[in-house]
Each structure stands twice: as structure tokens, then as C-alpha cells.
Chains A and B, each alone.
Chain A
Amino acid sequence: MSSHLETNVLPPSRQRELPGQTRKWVGHSMKRVEDRRFLLGKGQYIDDHAVPNMAHAATVRSPHAHARIISIDTSKAKALPGVIGVYTGTDLATVVDPCPSFASPPVTQRAIAIDKVRHVGEVVVAIVAVDRYIAEDAADLVEVEYEVLPANVDIEATLEATGDSVIHPADREGNKAHDESFKFGPVDEDFARADHIVRRRLRWKRSGAQPIETCGCISDYSVVDGGYTIHCNTNFSNFIPFVIAGSLRISPTVLRMQPIATGGSFGSKVFIHKIVILTSGLSRLAGQPVKYIEDRLEHFTNSDSHGSDRLYDAELALAKDGTMLSLRFDVIDDYGAYLQFGVGTHGNAMSQVTGPYRIGSFGMRVRAALTNKCQQGPYRGFGAEVTNWVLERLVDAAAEELGMDTVGLRLQNMIQPDQFPYMIPTGNIYDSGNFQEVYKQADELIGLAAWRKKAADLRAQGRCVGVGVATCQERSVYSPTEWWSLNNLAAPGFALSSTPEGISLRIDPVGKIFATLHSVFIGNSPETIVTQVLAEQFTVDPSDIVVSYSDTHSGFNGVGPQGSRFTAMITGACVSASYKIQTKLKRLAGHLLEAAEGDLELRDGAVTVKGTDRKISIGDVAMQASFFRLNFPDTPDFDSGLETTAVYDHPISTLPHPERKHLGVFYPMVGHICHIAVVEVDPQTGKVAILDYAAVHDNGTIMNPMTLEGQVLGGTANGIGSTLTEEFIYDDQGQFVNANFGEFAMSSAWEMPANLKIGHVETPSPYTEYGVKGGGEGGRLGAPSALSSAIDDALQRYGVKVEQIPVRPSTLRAMIRASGK
């Protein structure tokens, strides 16, 4: 371990529920308790909600990528019967402030643009009307005159922009929003002593989550207290009030955010900021509740969550025997017109940037480029999917240049099972793992040797068949230092924060256990996981557990599902809350059974005297605790009620070095994945067919095999899409030319491999309860690398290398033709 890491000292584990025990509910497949309402059409998503006297909003959006707003004429729109109000950015700014920005210096962003538009789809005017149809009619009657400015589209050219091309001239002189360099360990020395340096220029292009449900909001301004009641499908329901209240010029105390089930997120609904501010401002201006639901075009062109869009000049330093020494890269990220999270997506990737390999040092320069495109936000991987791909591309390139086998080079450099917890150069740790076992299982599952031989035979017959292997990390359970660790060191865009997760628990008089979550459902399985853990803890049947969700007035410390954190964090909270209630349960039962508390245990839903059949059911204790106070001693520890709250802090995190020699431990529950893909490319069309596919994941202790498999499959589907078809295409004028489901080419049932083989290895975490790790993102963290590798292999004859993704069929066909072979 390099000396720069000496100050990064690991605290001891706080794990209470040890892995490897026999469990009745934890670790077993269980049908989800969430599902009946969704199967019955009673999901209560955002657009299913209505409040009395609710009006509807529609927007007028910029047709230009970059333009000055010369004039806006709303008179015809205002005159349309049924229109309640027509509002410009200036109108909205009388009641709300700009959107939150964590960049430093901040990039000013408003829910409705003022004076200037900076990307196609940015809102210029909003209409409130009695129904959405009339609101949209009115939108067509608004006349906006623009002076078109030069559009910045190219990721490199924008960094040189001057004059009218500068997107935020009041904030900064050019379009470079951020430029920082870091070295973790002896990067220069390692490169100097290297025998071989592999260099590649790699391009990861923009796409996005595009869940089937768009974002929406109902906001109701209250003249009673000056606050808002907000229904919104954000994943941050108990967290963003403390951020967004500032933009609404109110105290979070009067911001009542309701928990709304989300019709898919994949990160994209983590922080819905623009439309909450927009809808709230409209409600205040119109004097009645307002609903605004994005249509698909709005979600494409003006969401808060386009994915990473990066250009890398990356280098891997190796000794001549193939030992990997150091990694460095210079990356430009096209963040679009705004920089909400700073370069947090790069901080995230620092958790596993050196992959599963023993690479001793790492350096990078990161530049944030502003262009005339929609802003970035989270999408399954939050930037770490890109560094996985960059590293795996370099490893494949190294194997080729050194004349080594791609698998052999990987295995040679992998961290060994006895080296955990393993600290990488950035300071993050990998808590546990057995990468070799994961690889072995994937190899066997797909029959790697046989496929390699078959692919070679088929290539010899003229077909373009290839095999690709990727071995990647899947970080989970973030501590939010990732957000700010790469931030402007002199003046960070936001301060060090933490992300606990809480739960409320009570046992009702008949012994039913009511759990209240402070984070929402996004398609994950929060109720099922909580039910499994509580059933395990209380030795009761899952049907005895009832789960609900709090609003912000009854909720607390809920950060929600993102960064593959929720299962591990809510499990910790459940364990803490269970222990607290069990203590009281045993105290009361001990009195009723005339037994010492220490002699009691929970068994089959009853408090039982160990070694005997003397027992009292949880329900009977709860009845006594609820209605029969006089049956207990008159001391406070026997007061009525069986209820508690518990907040679980991140199980292991450390502070970054003050000078950023390292970043501390911030994303330590690290799983491992091996994806092996076999593809055939049609050189005439550039279409890639997946002939076979194996995905083996190690996510620590598996809570529910069925739901984890769902995450693996779904993430892999996203990864396939990101590699082969899905791209947000902006032309050279900044027009978003495929902003619809017809042309965006999202994977359908035909694009998924028919025989996707899933395997699991379980290496428990030594830090989380039961040893669970997160598993929500791995598919997308592995598929791009495996597919890129397989396509290279398939196209050996043409010498085509995948150095940008997606490789849509037209792209790949053009590459094949350009090869001249």
C-alpha cells in the first residue's frame, strides 16, 4: 500500500447480524409484497393523483439550442377561454429563486429561462389552465422572438468558445466549468518505470434512463402558512425538501412532500428539481394547485438526468510481464448547459477506478464542458459505468499489444481473496471479494473455451463471431463524500454531508408489526426486504408485517434508493429498530412470565423462556403493552407502547485527506461481476446479435435471490442498450433529433439475449448486517465492456475496435466500411 494512504485508517466493523447463519426469511426468494397493487392497476403513481381544484400546466419550450429571447407575446394565450395564467421566467422569478446547484462556482439555472435559452427544450413560458388540452392549445398561441446564437455541440470545441458562444457569460468567461487534476500515489514514478504504456482515446456518448413513466408534480401553495404540499415522483422525498426549500423561499418545515411510487427511475428521478420549482411557483402565481406531468418529448429534452457524455485520453502503464502499475487519464465531460452536481459523477467513479486489479497509483485531470444540451443527472452507474468501460478497453488493448491472453492478463493482476479489505489508490476500500471465483463460474457457465474455438472456426468460415470477457467492480452503499471530494478545493460547492437511513416501527395491540419507511418505492423491493428482515428478527410470518411510507412531516433521515444503497441501509435500520423494540418486549414479557429478561428469546412469534415451553406471544405482550398498563410496575421503563425509531449510519466511511492525497473510504461495499458475451456482427448492416451471454455477480449475502436476479437482468438490459442502440443524438445545430421512443431505439424483448445465463457468488461484506451488498447497477456496469470486447473479436478481419459507444448499427457499419477491408 502506497504511503499516501497511511492516514486512511479503517474503523472497526459495526456488523451485528453475522453472515453465514441459517435464516428462515433472509436469503430466500419471496414474492414481493409490493406487487398486488401494481398488478391490479392500483399503483397510485404521480399522474393517478388529483387534489381538489387542481389546474394543469403545459410549457412552451425553446426550439433553439442557444438564443437570446428578444420578446414574448402571451396576449393570445391569455385570452383563450379556460386559461388561468401564462407565466414567463420573469414572472416565476417573483416567487421562486434559481435551482439548487452544487457546482463551484455555481451555474445559474432557472425552472423557466430568463433572457436566454441554452438548450432545445428549455422552458420559456408556462401556462396554467383548467385542463391540459387547453394549456397545450395556449402554448401554441405564445409568440416568442429569438436571436439565435452559435450552438456549442462538440465536446472539445466548446472549451475554446468565446463571445456569443459563451453559455453563461454572467457566471464565467468560457464554457469550461471545472478543471481539476488529482494524483493518488506515485503516478509519475510508476509511468516512468513502466516497460509499456497503452494509450487509447475513448468516447462514451450520451444516453439516459428514460423510464416508462416521466417525471411529474402536483404542488399546492398554502396561503395559511406560506408553504407547499407537493406530490412528486422524486426518489429523494425526505431529502430534497431541505435543498429545494431555499429555491422556494420557504422553510422546509412548511414543505410537505408526499411519498409517491415511482414508475421507474434508474437514477433519473433521484433529484427532480426543475419541475418541483416550476410547479410550485405556478401554484403560487395561479393561486390554486397545479399539476404538471412531463410528456415524453419534455422528458427527453428537458429532464434533469441525461447520462455521462465523456471523452477520455487514457493510459495504462505496465511492466513487460503484464503487471499493471498505474492508470491515468484526461477526461472531458459534456455536462450540457448546466452543472447541477458538479463533477460528482467522476467522484463516484473514483470508488473503483482501478477495477479489480492491483494498480498502485492513479491520476486524472477532469474538465467539465458546458454545451447547449440538456443537463446531466444520475443514470444507473452514475459515471462509474464509464470508467469500468475505459479500464476494460485499456486492458484488452494491453493484452493485444503485449501479445497476452485477455483473460490471463486479467487474472494475473487481480486482487487475491486474502487481500481484503483492499484499499485502492484513491483511498476507497473493497470490503471483500473473490474475483477469481466469479470469473471461474462465468467461464464454466458459458463454456468459454468451447465458444472461443467455435468463434474462431466460424470466423475462418467468414462469419464475424467473437467472444468478450469483462471483469468489473460494482460499488454499492455510498457515503456522499463522492459528491464533493473532487469539488473545487478552495471553495467547495457544498459541505461534507452524510446519508443515514431511518425507519419507524411499532407493534399494534394484536401484534402486527407496522414499519414506516422514509424513502419511496422506485421499482426496487423496499417493502419486501423490510418484511423479510422483520420476519427474521421477530420470528413472525411475513403476513404479520405492514409497510407504509411517510411524508416529510412524519418522516426523517430518509435518503432513498440510489447508489445501490437502500437494501443495505434499510436492513441496518431494521436491525437497530428491532433490537430496541425487542428489549422492551422482553422486559414486559419477563414481568408477565416472571422470568429474567436475559433468559428470554424470540421463537415462532412468541417470547419464550429459553430451554422451556413457557412463552407468551408477541401479540399478547403487545395487547398488554397497549391497554393494560396497570398490569406492570409503576416505573417509566414499563410505560405503554411498543414503538421506536432507528437511524442507521453508513457502516464504514472515513474522511478524505485534506489535500486530497486520497478521498477516504466512501463506497466500500464493492461487488464484483464477470460478463462474458458472444456476438455475431452482420458486416453489411452493422447489427450485433448476441448469441450467448453469461453474467455472474457477487453482491455479498443475497437477501432475495429472485429480486436480485431482476436487478441483474434489468441492469444488463440497460447496458446492452447503452452499448448497441441507445444514444441521445444532437446534430451540429444542437437539435435533439431522436427525442422519441420510436427513434431512440430502447431495447425491446428482441434485443435481449434469449439465453442469458445468470450466476451468483456470495462473498459477504464484513461491515453490513447479514453481509449484504447493493446490487442495483451491476448489469450496466459490466455489459458495455463485455460487448465491446466481443465486437472487437468478431471484427478482427476488419481491424475494427470499439473506441466509442454506443456502436449503433449505422455507426458500426460505417467503421467496417472505413476499414477498407
Chain B
Amino acid sequence: MTTHAITITVNGRKREATVPARMLLSDCLRHTLGLPGTHVGCEHGVCGACTVMMDGRTVRSCLTFAVQADGSELTTIEGLANQSQLHPIQEAFWEEHGLQCGFCTPGMLMAAKELLSANPNPSDDEIREAISGNLCRCTGYTQIINAVRSAAAKLRAAVPTLAT
């Protein structure tokens, strides 16, 4: 089977790998690059657990081949915190009980990050829309929505406005 040498910047670090053309990005991250924080729930692009950021946009890593990520910049759940200092979105999920089993959480956090990067003050319906492609079986979503709303407030408070 032919293999391909790829270079991906993952969480700010340049990583090189030699992968078969058919290898999924999710498998490459989890099993080749040793980053198992990205989870696989359905492998057919519905549940969103495998969501990662590629060049600033979310992608389903179970529907992306690793070779398609060649040359790109990825952020995974492992790259969200600053070492042990949780990202404000992670803090908000902790405080609002936005996770129970934690399996959908990496994808949820990525979906939330993408939303809040584009829309710092989303309405609840905008939050619902942003996470509606990510399935959670534990929470019933209410506490996740609360967490994203709280994270938005934290991030707004953290950014100094021009007036100050």
C-alpha cells in the first residue's frame, strides 16, 4: 500500500508522519501522533465527537483523510488549554456542568470555540445552532448551552475594549 509523507502543525508543533492514503485524520491524530483526546463516536460524520480545527475552521476528522491535512494547522483538544491552565471555554464547561461522561466534550469545545471566535455574544439560538451538529447523550444540552453562554461572557471580559 502506498504511503505519503505529510507535515501537519498540530497545536503549534510541526509533526511529520508517513501514512496510507486512506488513513483517516482521526486515526492519524489518535494512533499515529499520540493525541487521543479527539474522540471517534460514529465514523460517519454525524456525532461531531471527532471535531478539530483545521486552519481556523472545524472539520470532522473522521471524514477527513490525514493526507488532506498535509500542510495545515490543526488545533485539537490537547491544544486548547495553556499547559494546565484551562481555556475560558473549558473553565465554563467545568463550572456549568457542561459535561458528564466527557466523550463528546472535545468536539463540543471545538464547536464552541469556532462559534465564539466569530460571534463573541451569541444568542441562545445561535449557540444551539452552533452545537446542533454535535451529539451529547448525557446532558440534554441545557448545561452545555449555559456553559457556552458563560464562556462568551468570560472571553468578552478578557478582551480589553478600545474604550478602556
Chain A residues proximal to chain B, CB less than 8 Å: 31-32, 34-43, 45, 47-48, 133, 209-214, 261-266, 295-296, 522-524, 706-707, 709-710, 713-718, 740-742, 746-750, 752, 754, 756, 779
**For A749, what are the chain B residues with a Cβ–Cβ distance below 8 Å?**
127-128, 131-132, 141, 144-145
Q: Are B102 and A740 in contact (CB under 8 A)?
A: no
> Considering residues A34, A38, A48, which has the most beta carbons from chain B within 10 angstroms of its beta carbon?
A38
Q: Are B101 and A40 in contact (CB under 8 A)?
A: no
Mark B104-131 against chain A: 1 for CB-CB distance below 8 A, else 0. 1110010000000000000011011001
Complex Cα gap A522–B139 (Å): 13
Q: Are B102 and A746 in contact (CB under 8 A)?
A: no
Q: Are A40 and B37 in contact (CB under 8 A)?
A: yes
Chain B nearest Cβ from A174, distance in angstroms: 37
Q: Are A741 and B46 in contact (CB under 8 A)?
A: yes
Chain B nearest Cβ from A35, distance in angstroms: 5
**For A265, what are the chain B residues with a Cβ–Cβ distance below 8 Å?**
101
Q: What are 30 A-B interface contacts by the 8 Å CB criterion?
A: A31-B95, A31-B97, A32-B94, A38-B99, A38-B101, A39-B93, A40-B86, A41-B78, A41-B106, A42-B37, A47-B36, A210-B137, A212-B47, A213-B101, A214-B41, A263-B39, A295-B43, A706-B97, A710-B139, A710-B143, A714-B138, A714-B140, A715-B140, A717-B139, A741-B47, A742-B44, A746-B135, A749-B127, A749-B132, A752-B140
Q: Is B30 an interface residue (CB 8 A)?
A: yes
| Complex partner residue of B137 from A31, A261, A746, CB under 8 angstroms | A746
Q: Is B18 an interface residue (CB 8 A)?
A: no
Closest to B94 in A: A35
Q: Are A709 and B97 in contact (CB under 8 A)?
A: yes
Closest to A523 in B: B101
Q: Are B135 and A263 in contact (CB under 8 A)?
A: no
| Complex partner residue of A40 from B38, B43, B90, CB under 8 angstroms | B90
With A133-B20, A522-B101 as contacts: A41 and B128 at CB distance below 8 Å: no
Q: Is B8 an interface residue (CB 8 A)?
A: no
Closest to A779 in B: B140
Chain B nearest Cβ from A51, distance in angstroms: 14
Chain B nearest Cβ from A660, distance in angstroms: 37
Q: Is B100 an interface residue (CB 8 A)?
A: yes
Q: Is B156 an interface residue (CB 8 A)?
A: no
Complex Cα gap A266–B80 (Å): 29
**For B86, what are the chain A residues with a Cβ–Cβ distance below 8 Å?**
36, 39-40
Q: Are B140 and A713 in contact (CB under 8 A)?
A: yes
Closest 10 CB pairs of A and B: A41-B37, A38-B102, A523-B101, A263-B103, A717-B140, A41-B77, A741-B46, A48-B36, A713-B140, A523-B100
**For A756, what are the chain B residues with a Cβ–Cβ distance below 8 Å?**
140, 142
| Total A-B contacts with CB atoms under 8 angstroms apart | 166
**For A741, what are the chain B residues with a Cβ–Cβ distance below 8 Å?**
41-42, 44, 46-47, 135
| Complex partner residue of A740 from B30, B44, B101, B141, CB under 8 angstroms | B44
Range, interface on chain B: 35 or more
Closest to A43 in B: B102
Complex Cα gap A752–B143 (Å): 12
Q: Is B49 an interface residue (CB 8 A)?
A: yes
Q: Are A209 and B143 in contact (CB under 8 A)?
A: no
Q: Is B14 an interface residue (CB 8 A)?
A: no
| Complex partner residue of B139 from A296, A714, A750, CB under 8 angstroms | A714
**For A709, what are the chain B residues with a Cβ–Cβ distance below 8 Å?**
97, 143
Complex Cα gap A409–B145 (Å): 38
With A31-B95, A742-B46 as contacts: A39 and B137 at CB distance below 8 Å: no
Q: Which of B25-52 contact A (CB under 8 A)?
A: 30, 35-44, 46-47, 49
**For A296, what are the chain B residues with a Cβ–Cβ distance below 8 Å?**
41-44
Chain B residues proximal to chain A, CB less than 8 Å: 20, 22-23, 30, 35-44, 46-47, 49, 76-78, 80-81, 84, 86, 90, 93-95, 97, 99-106, 109, 124-125, 127-128, 131-133, 135-145
With A212-B39, A264-B103, A741-B44 as contacts: A717 and B94 at CB distance below 8 Å: no
Chain A nearest Cβ from B3, distance in angstroms: 12
Complex Cα gap A41–B108 (Å): 12
Q: Are B132 and A213 in contact (CB under 8 A)?
A: no
Q: Are B141 and A213 in contact (CB under 8 A)?
A: no
Q: Are A750 and B128 in contact (CB under 8 A)?
A: yes
Complex Cα gap A31–B22 (Å): 42
Chain B nearest Cβ from A172, distance in angstroms: 36
Complex Cα gap A716–B140 (Å): 7
Q: Are A213 and B41 in contact (CB under 8 A)?
A: yes
Complex Cα gap A630–B43 (Å): 62
| Complex partner residue of B76 from A41, A48, A213, A718, CB under 8 angstroms | A41
| Complex partner residue of B102 from A31, A35, A214, A295, CB under 8 angstroms | A35
**For A714, what are the chain B residues with a Cβ–Cβ distance below 8 Å?**
100, 137-140
Complex Cα gap A39–B95 (Å): 12
With A47-B30, A295-B43, A754-B124 as contacts: A710 and B23 at CB distance below 8 Å: no
Q: Are B103 and A43 in contact (CB under 8 A)?
A: yes
Q: Are A752 and B142 in contact (CB under 8 A)?
A: yes
Complex Cα gap A133–B32 (Å): 14
Complex Cα gap A710–B132 (Å): 19
**For B78, what are the chain A residues with a Cβ–Cβ distance below 8 Å?**
40-41
Q: Are B49 and A717 in contact (CB under 8 A)?
A: no
Q: Are A264 and B101 in contact (CB under 8 A)?
A: yes
Instruction: Add 8 more A-B contacts to A39-B93, A43-B37 (CB < 8 A).
Output: A38-B105, A41-B77, A42-B37, A209-B137, A264-B103, A714-B138, A749-B144, A750-B132
> Considering residues B81, B99, B101, which has the most beta carbons from chain A within 10 angstroms of its beta carbon?
B101
Q: Are B141 and A212 in contact (CB under 8 A)?
A: no
**For A133, what are the chain B residues with a Cβ–Cβ distance below 8 Å?**
20, 22-23
